[in-house]
Structure 1
Amino acid sequence: MSLKTLDNSLELLNYFSKETPSWGVRELAKEMGISHSIVYRTLASFEKYGFLEQDPKTKRYELGLRFLEFGQMVKEKMRLSEHVYPIMKRLAGKVEESIFLTWLDKSDGVTVEIAESTHRIKYEVSLGTRTPLYVGASCKVIMAYLSKEKQLEITREGMKAFTKNTILDEEILLSDLDEIKKKGWCYSVGEFSDAVFGLGVPLFNSQNEIIASLTISGPEYRVEEMDFEVALTHLLQEAKEIQGYLNHFSSHYK
């Protein structure tokens, strides 16, 4: 296999997302701008090894269980459930909202652990959800600690509006990121999902490089019922404990 073939194959996988979880051969070939025969062979190879599955009725392809196995392997290596989830659950009990651990992956934040609120009405996101770094507290608090060059790279790749509150002006966004970094936390409302608030703080590796964030999130209408300063204090306290584990983890798995 040539490097170009490998690049095309891996690029193909990136088209499978929460917004477009399944693709037909010709549809994907048109989207990628390459021959449908090449796309078919690539999809068939991924299906052979369990990375993709084809619906027998629609003939469309979607991600296979092999990715779930790999994801579980990574999660077990990090031992998030054993060390981090109990802290997140404790924080969820204190603030009575859902807690999210978001991991930096290139220009996105990926939800890798969730401790849900006990409220019947709550903000729900699936594990593995991928979100651009320029939107929402959990991601913007990560982006704020990236280099200015990386921030500009992200903004100039193109930004899209998820809600009417999504910041699309580069100058305003960069100013917002500077302010977030000065404060050490980020608060947002309705930037990624309407009527949802987020309060996030950064998490670093042992080299003090940004790698993740810890975020309280829930329906906007409950913010008035929440003591913001107390919630932020709890968030910072529990993030400090998680930070201790991440320092240990990252020093052993560089």
Structure 2
Amino acid sequence: MTLKTLDNSLEVLKYFNKENPTWGVRELAKEMNISHSIIYRILTTFEQHGFLIQNPETKKYELGLRFLEYGQMVRDKLNLSDFVLPIMKNVADTVKESVFLTWLDGTDGVTVEIAESSQTIKFSVSIGTRTPLYIGASCKTMMAFLPAERKKEITDHGMKKLTPDTITDPDALLADLEKIQQQGWCFTTGEYAHSVFGLGVPLFNNKREVIASLTIAGPIYRKPTEDRLPEMINVLQYGAMNIQRYFDQYSFKLYHE
């Protein structure tokens, strides 16, 4: 296998996401501007190894169970269920809202754990959801602590709105990120979804590089008042501090690109 073939194969997998979970050979070939014969060989090879499955009726491909296995291996490595999730549940029980752990992955944030609120409400975010770093509290609170060149890379790549409240002007975004970095937390309303608020704080590895965030999210009709916001920030920061202590104490080896 040549490096070009490997690169194309890995690029193919990136097209299977929440917005486009299934692809036919010709439509994916057209989307990627690659010969359909090449795409066919890549898809069938992934299928043979369990990374993709083909719907017998539509003939379209979708992600296979092999990714579920690998996803569980990553979660086990992070000890999320053993240590982090109980802390998240405690925060969720205290503030009566859902809590999310989001991991930095290149120019995106990936949801890796969720502690549901007792006031259950359906969110569009689930484990494995990938979101650009410039959108929402969970991601912007990480982007705010990235080096300037990484921020520029993201803004130069182009930004698109998910809602009318998504900030896509580079200067406005950078000013917002500077404020987030100074205060140590990020509060947003309606940036990722019209009806959701988010409150996020960063988490770091033992080199003091940002690698994740802890975020409270809830319906906008329950967003914290000016009086309640400081209390919610304190609860969130206390939970993040306990997770951070665990990372520091055990020299947790966390990486980002």
TM-score grouping bracket, smaller chain normalisation:
over 0.9
8 Å Cα contact 2:205-2:253 kept in structure 1: no
Amino acid at match of 1:232: I
Q: Any gaps of 5 or more consecutive residues in structure 2?
A: none
When normalised by structure 1's length, the TM-score is: 0.97
Distance 1:247 1:224 in 2: 31
- 5 Å-filtered alignment, 1:179-194, equals 179-194=179-194
Distance 1:80 1:224 in 2: 27
8 Å Cα contact 2:111-2:129 kept in structure 1: yes
Kindly indicate whether residue 47 of structure 2 is the aligned counterpart of residue 32 of structure 1: no
- 5 Å-filtered alignment, 1:58-207, equals 58-121=58-121, 123-207=123-207
Deviation per residue, 1:161-189 (Å, 9 max, x gap): 00000001000000000000000000000
8 Å Cα contact 2:205-2:254 kept in structure 1: no
Residues 253 and 169 of structure 1: is their aligned pair in 2 closer, same or farther, counting only changes over 3 Å? closer
Larger displacement relative to structure 2 (222-231 or 28-37):
222-231
SS in structure 2 of the partner of residue 113 of structure 1: strand
Amino acid at match of 1:166: T
Q: Any gaps of 5 or more consecutive residues in structure 1?
A: none
Amino acid at match of 2:71: G
Distance 1:120 1:88 in 2: 15
Distance 2:39 2:193 in 1: 34
Deviation per residue, 1:118-168 (Å, 9 max, x gap): 114354521000000001000000000011111111011111100000001
Distance 2:39 2:190 in 1: 38
Distance 2:253 2:168 in 1: 39
Q: Which residue of 1 aligns with 2:240?
A: 239
Deviation per residue, 1:65-119 (Å, 9 max, x gap): 0000000011111111101000000000000000000000000000000000111
Amino acid at match of 1:171: D
Distance 1:162 1:253 in 2: 29
When normalised by structure 2's length, the TM-score is: 0.96
Amino acid at match of 1:233: N
8 Å Cα contact 1:98-1:123 kept in structure 2: no
Distance 1:248 1:23 in 2: 45
- Cα RMSD, aligned residues only: 1.4
Number of positions where the alignment pairs a residue of Structure 1 with one of Structure 2: 254
SS in structure 2 of the partner of residue 245 of structure 1: helix
Deviation per residue, 1:191-223 (Å, 9 max, x gap): 010021000000000000000000000001112
Q: Which residue of 1 aligns with 2:229?
A: 228
Distance 1:92 1:61 in 2: 37
Amino acid at match of 1:242: I
Deviation at 1:252, TM superposition (A): 4.7
SS in structure 2 of the partner of residue 16 of structure 1: coil
